[in-house]
Structure 1
């Protein structure tokens, strides 16, 4: 799946911004686990944590940033 197709799918499913709960659902993890991972500097979610948007007390992630993160994570050799 290309990044553009992924972005279109994410936007249709969640809208332009994802909450932590939606991100957790997408990644197949629990929201608490995602929150914990976002606080760790050396975790695989660290690049996404740096791009989060806070509105009041709520934390959001732009769908374009999530698509970019997923695409770049898939390109890395394991």
Structure 2
């Protein structure tokens, strides 16, 4: 999906919510793209990972701009039961 044709539908710390949302979107036939970013950074050394926490990230879910209205209805149903 090209950056000019996508809109952010979800941004949050919960990977479970992002996964549930993507599953519901795919079931409805809406293409989505998910992304995870570690907000604390961290680095690697020969002794292992330094400063990176698995829970210190943000999950994003994007949909095509043309599908945004339908995707928002699904997101509301999935994220706010």
Scaled by the length of structure 1, the TM-score of the pair is 0.27
> Which structure has more RCO (C-alpha within 8 Å, separation ≥ 6)?
2
Scaled by the length of structure 2, the TM-score of the pair is 0.26
Bigger share in helix: 1
Bigger-Rg structure (1/2): 2
